[in-house]
Chains A and B, each alone.
Chain A
Amino acid sequence: MIKSNKGLLISLIIPIVALALLVVYKKHVLSIGKEVILPITGYDPRDLLSGHYLIYTINYGVNSVCRGSSLKTKRPGYICLDYKTFSFSRPKNCKLYITGTCNRNRFEAGVERYYIPEKEAKNLEDLVNSNEASIVLSVPKNGKAQIKDLLIDGASWKNR
């Protein structure tokens, strides 16, 4: 369909630029977002490790998260970290909130997975299971949080 040199050049540049913008956006969120540290627990303690990443549940310190949402359908949800409340609509008067989805009473914000090197996987799984583990998030104004680091007993896992 594309027959001109210029057309081909543009079609080849678009994905590279789009991917570069994705990296820039991710870096930008990490730099402008407000840093929040939240404790984590194993989603399934017997199987915290899934391939090359840890899957866990974040303790937002909020009661009744996703309560009242249908078991069958997904729904957008918001956790206000200022007042430790949950709502199905974007919270007003809340400066720091996390945007996510309620999926069968579980709040998913896209930050429930931490990629780890293969060699470190088992060791890190044991550390998370036997110590106080927490996740460092960068939360921008739109609430779309991004992972910054994984802490074991308050220190980055990379420094252990």
Chain B
Amino acid sequence: MSQLEKLLSDWVLNDLITKEQAKKISHHEENKPSNSWVLYGFLILGALVIGIGIISLIAANWENIPDTVKLIIDFLLLIALATGSYISWKKKEHILFEVLLISFMVLCLASIGLISQIYHTGGKLYQALLMWSVITSAVAASSKRSLTPFIWAAGFFSSITFTALDSATFQPIFARHENSVLMAIPLLSALLAIICKKISGESGQTKSFRSWAIIGGMIALSAAETHLLRYRSMDLNIITFIPGYVFTILIVGGILISSEYKKVQKILLLLALAFYLIPFHLPMVPIQSKSVYAAFSIFTLSTMAIFLASLGLRGLFQIFLIILGMRFLVLYFQALGGLATTGFGLIISGVIIISMVITWNKYRLKITNWAEGLIE
């Protein structure tokens, strides 16, 4: 008996639904197309394996294949994948379209590698990624799902981060100011999410930029906490913050002109933005301590969690709450680090962790409902 059948018979037994309704639900679930995400994931995995196989085949026979033939094969594959993507789009075969699109993007990156090998270009990986993200940006914009733009954004953000930190043009400016770069990247991602939302609504591109804004924000805050404590005010170069400030101004503009948020929601977002920015500037003021950094991380996470709850985004709200809980746990270890190394301290730590999990599990729904009602 499947899990669904067990549940249905339980609900029928408890008079929650009728036998007729149970039959209808069972029929509906049985005739539903299989979970496309699982299918999509395996198809992409398959496509990537085939891609790697082709690349390995070419690499293994490197010396036996003339350069021109290698390039012809590569371009023929690119054209075939592009044609396949276009045909599947027209036939509305969405999953096949996404698989071919992502394979096309992977092959574009492999092609840069191939050209680099044939012409002995001594470039760095981030330079290849930067070129790849520029030439495939419109391809990522064609996707109807989140995964393709998510992968593209990963390449794009990592390439601009390393361009800022390693290229001869920007390295002299940003050397030893990694935190300014890390601060700016999530802001750029948030700005792109706002632009995508304006153009295409809740699309895959909007979701992936929003995800990277959150992931990048967490990384940047963690880096600020662990790294900036060593800095003194004179070490900070305000010029390195300019890209971040420009993105912030544009984000603030985007929030203020947005018609979908209430006034309180806009204030929450602006507060979260301010709390996010402050830790990166703390070395400028003489209040350098772990707890101050921790406080601003907690403020940022809390305001963002309340904002997400007010939008009814329960999943994201709960993720933020879990991160918040973890942050509190880290704070505990930071404050009582010495205690945690003792047997007594470990017992207390274990009790705190178990209590947090039990409390969370028991009051999850209540907390969510409470947070959702805060703005009303």
Contact = CB atoms under 8 A, between A and B. Distances in A.
Contacts of A16: 75, 78-79, 82
Contact of B62 (A15, A26, A118): A118
B168 to A, nearest CB: 4
A49 to B, nearest CB: 15
Given A19-B78, A22-B131, A26-B119, 10 more contacts: A1-B199, A1-B203, A12-B142, A15-B78, A15-B139, A16-B75, A22-B115, A74-B168, A118-B59, A146-B120
B182 to A, nearest CB: 19
Interface residues of A, number: 44
B123 interface: yes
Contact of B71 (A11, A23, A52, A72): A23
Given A2-B142, A19-B78, A120-B63, A8 B86 contact: yes
B146 to A, nearest CB: 12
Nearest to A101: B168
A14 B86 CA distance: 14
Contacts of A101: 168
B74 to A, nearest CB: 8
B227 interface: no
Contacts of A20: 75
| B: contact size bracket | 35 or more
B272 interface: no
7 closest pairs, A vs B, by CB? A11-B138, A117-B63, A147-B120, A113-B122, A12-B82, A101-B168, A73-B172
B120 A15 contact: no
Contacts of A22: 112, 115, 131
A35 interface: no
Interface in A60-85: 70, 72-76
Given A18-B135, A74-B171, A7 B142 contact: yes
Contacts of B60: 118
Interface stretch (A89-97, A104-112, A125-133): A104-112
